[in-house]
Amino acid sequence: MDLGLKNKVALVAGGSMGLGLAVAKTLSREGARIAICALDDPYLPQAKEEIIKETGGEVIAIPADITNADEAKNFVRRAFDHYGTLDVLVNNAGGPPSKPFFDIDDNLWEFGFRLNLLSTILMTREAVPIMKAKRWGRIINMTSISVKQPIDGLILSNTIRSGVIGFAKSLSNELASFNITVNNVCPGYTMTERVREVSRAVAAREGTTPE
């Protein structure tokens, strides 16, 4: 498959595991130069080495909390300074916990907002000026199938991720004249640690097994 990505620079948030890591590997196989970020944990350097080993591509890994404006800015700027350009932004983060409505306090609502919506806004805000200057860019938001059909037990995720869809559509209209596209990927159930975590939480609440 040739997606025309050779030597393009792709930033992948949450690229140390799960879908983010899978996306980074796929883009690297297509010839893109990769920058991944995640919280400063042992998985990040491991992910970098794994991508290089499997694809032979060029990868940098930068610790960043993308819910923080300064750290999101630092990630984008460091990647841009390293590669000299930016072509593709993949907004991706884990999901908020699975809880019933009345078990979600204000702090948890704010956490979900920052994790899934604000992080997308912050990263996009830093990347778009670079893309506009070159009049080309691709922004991809990793959301969930729940934006089309809400999933029981995931009211926090269902609500916040729907905001990403509205943001993306509005932004795509603004940026179309600059040849910048904004799209959402809405994956269904994929056996990641996030899905295992949600399955365990639902099973514990309902007195069943994760299976």
Q: What would be the CATH architecture of the domain defined by 9-206?
A: 3-Layer(aba) Sandwich (3.40)
Token couple for 70 = 């300064």
Q: What are phi and psi of 36, to 5 degrees?
A: -115, 155
Asked which of 38-42, 81-85, 89-93, 107-111 is least confident by mean pLDDT, the reply is 38-42
pTM over 0.75: yes
Q: How would you class 60 by CB atoms within 10 Å of its CB: exposed for 0-12, middle for 13-18, buried for 19 or more?
A: middle
95-123 per-position pLDDT tens digit: 999 999 999 999 999 999 999 999 999 99
What is the residue extent of each domain of the chain? Answer: 9-206
The Cα angle at residue 206 between residues 113 and 150, in degrees rounded to 5:
40
Helical ranges in the chain per DSSP H: 18-29, 43-55, 69-83, 106-112, 119-134, 155-175, 193-206
Q: Tell me what percent of the chain is helix, strand and coil, each rounded to the nearest 5.
A: 55, 15, 30
The edge-to-edge listing of strands for the beta sheet with 180-185 is 59-63, 33-38, 9-13, 88-91, 137-142, 180-185
